Structure 1
């Protein structure tokens, strides 16, 4: 398969040059990773040295494999308490990370990785934590496990922050500081994201020790080979018409344009982003009625419902997923090759994350 330049390397290097662990190499091979991407080539050797690391690369270029490999090279099957703690901003990303780690560790005996997220029974977590070497979780659930002493941290050697710009924002920043304060001071910390600002880099000062920075993108990250188009819609406003009625007309016109695009553009699966949760539900139902099997996902669904929708997408039982920015980041659905933005996102960086749901690993 042809892939864009941003996931290709000029050197004739394979993973055997980066990793000595034969079982891990077999796991990488089985998971379909033949040669490292640029971020993997640069960040894995640094991470294996044990230094603190801040890594920036575009969405879909293999960052999860970087910290997955470093983690699996760090842990030992002996010991009964967690040795690696990974933090993700959403439940879906946490589950996805867990699945990637499990695939990479498929031939590494004795290593256990579990995800701890909101929307699941808290009382069952204590059992899962027994003999769990790699803990993946969302900030709220990890805080709860630390608060009731279910999560023992004394053996943790590595902290990983995925989608670090989101984790260090106002939404999660204090929670991340709390979690970090409960961990051993002597540990390695890795932070990954597609976008980093100077303010974000400064926020790591009290969490990292002279971090190495791997930066593969320009100041304004671009997604090579992903074609982007804008479709203009104009709806005239009547003199006596209220602003609310006008907004309804605009959304109706947008819905109809979405249906037209789906009928004219060849695609496997499509993700549609809407800022309003009620509109996402409405669009999903309307598209299904129009013959496009659609689902929706937002923070308003239970965790069981959210996981069921994601499972349907991955099993190709849905062709269209309408969603809020809950899953604008980090989610891999291999067949997604069309993204539609009904609304512009509220934050500039989120646009890159939304569009990055397609073109995964340079496709």
Structure 2
């Protein structure tokens, strides 16, 4: 099935992965995962990476950078050697877990492959048995530093170091740890660094780790994915700034959110707020449920704004604006992944309008006021085509949906005394259910609120 994708991931060359990769098991794994042709970053970065050259690569978030170093890592492994040969460092635990899933997915047909993740927040005692058989080590700097310092992890066979989200890893809170880790690794290793943004301070920091790197810079003038429509809506707010007024602003934003989720069809939605509350195990379980489509709406902080890829997310909502433009770009980049289409909508009060204007003027972000006249039909139609036959079969396997049965009424998460909204909700539900029993395909209901 041909899927409409933006030029972020389109190439003009008639090239498939068989031109870039000689290992048939990796090609088979890519095909099983739904990858038939390389994206621009994959076409440009895989060849020098396979030659053993250090690479610094820049491309927009969501254009397939993980696949690049996953292919390079898998291609250099000696599967008869069970010791660590590749080390991948990621700035957050969630990204590390996702990288492991991607690499294991495309390497599923490589018999004898051992790839494990090592992150903080979980008992270190559970890491030790995994290190006995582990060719690809993926982890956060803090945990990897401990494992190397205590000599729990051997590095003498290590051939490749990958720095994912390198801009974050080169910040002061990680930089010293990365330097400590690097000292314990072989001098003649290959280094690959990937990020959506690069500047002179970042390149200077990376110079401590790379040797004569090959630079690949693919981002255009805008750092936003082309398939993401961006809007903002001004929420009325009191002139004062006391605690009670802040609660009133949140109340107004939540009301707008409820109205939005009832208006815009979506598969999955991420709502960003400037807070955190779950421990590590709860976060991992929540992310796993979201990927299995057991969670439709995920409310989270900026911990997952970077690098996290949940394939069915086609709506991102900012309930709070982030502290900087870079974080905003990473947030909205959770949709429109790999050349698909999505919506990003921000609810702002008067104090946050300066941030919106800065996005427009300084970062050339095409963000526009949200109005009732705006139609999302094109993006909705294109988003649904992303669930191609392979993804649909995977969806059936995960949810064990063989045929549509009489479903229970979807949960109502907000209650009011508004009988008109309540009547509208049940009328919508009846229409949805009648559509289900008259069609073979399962179409998930959108969350609506009464």
Q: Same fold judged by TM-score > 0.5?
A: yes
SS in 2 for 1:189: strand
TM-superposed CA distance for 1:85, in Å, is: 0.2
Distance 1:215 1:242 in 2: 44
1:122 matched to which residue of 2? 124
1:334 matched to which residue of 2? 311
Distance 2:300 2:50 in 1: 37
- Cα offsets for 1:255-290 (capped at 9, x unmatched): 111111111111111101111x2xxxxxxxxxxxxx
Distance 2:291 2:317 in 1: 19
- Cα offsets for 1:292-338 (capped at 9, x unmatched): xxxxxx4x422221122112212222211111100001111111100
SS in 1 for 2:231: coil
Q: In angstroms, what is the RMSD of aligned CA positions? A: 1.2
Correspondence 1:130-169 to 2 at 5 A: 130-169=132-171
1:343 matched to which residue of 2? 320
- Cα offsets for 1:185-218 (capped at 9, x unmatched): 1110000111111110111112110111111003
TM-superposed CA distance for 1:242, in Å, is: 5.9
1:212 matched to which residue of 2? 214
Distance 2:266 2:252 in 1: 22
1:76 matched to which residue of 2? 78
User: Are the aligned partners of 2:82 and 2:114 in contact in 1 as well (CA < 8 Å)?
Assistant: no
1:320 matched to which residue of 2? 297
Q: Which protein has greater RCO, CA pairs closer than 8 Å, 6+ apart?
A: 1
1:308 matched to which residue of 2? 285
Where in structure 1 do 4 or more consecutive aligned residues deviate above 4 Å?
none
Distance 1:183 1:11 in 2: 38
1:203 matched to which residue of 2? 205
Distance 2:94 2:60 in 1: 19
Correspondence 1:1-363 to 2 at 5 A: 1-237=3-239, 243-275=242-274, 277=275, 298=276, 300-363=277-340
SS in 1 for 2:338: helix
The number of aligned residues is 338
TM-superposed CA distance for 1:225, in Å, is: 1.8
TM-superposed CA distance for 1:184, in Å, is: 0.7
SS in 1 for 2:229: coil
User: Are the aligned partners of 1:76 and 1:111 in contact in 2 as well (CA < 8 Å)?
Assistant: no
User: Are the aligned partners of 2:57 and 2:217 in contact in 1 as well (CA < 8 Å)?
Assistant: yes
- Cα offsets for 1:209-231 (capped at 9, x unmatched): 01111110035412102100010
Distance 2:81 2:285 in 1: 34
1:283 matched to which residue of 2? none
TM-superposed CA distance for 1:176, in Å, is: 1.1
* TM-score for both structures, normalised by structure 2: 0.73
SS in 2 for 1:135: strand
Distance 1:30 1:80 in 2: 25
Distance 2:59 2:156 in 1: 31
User: Are the aligned partners of 1:88 and 1:163 in contact in 2 as well (CA < 8 Å)?
Assistant: yes
Unaligned 5+ segments in structure 2 are: 341-450
* TM-score for both structures, normalised by structure 1: 0.91
TM-superposed CA distance for 1:347, in Å, is: 2.2
Which structure is larger by alpha-carbon Rg, 1 or 2? 2
SS in 2 for 1:229: strand
SS in 1 for 2:228: coil
Query: Please, which moves more after superposition, 26-35 or 218-227?
Result: 218-227
Unaligned 5+ segments in structure 1 are: 278-297
SS in 1 for 2:172: coil
Distance 1:21 1:185 in 2: 27
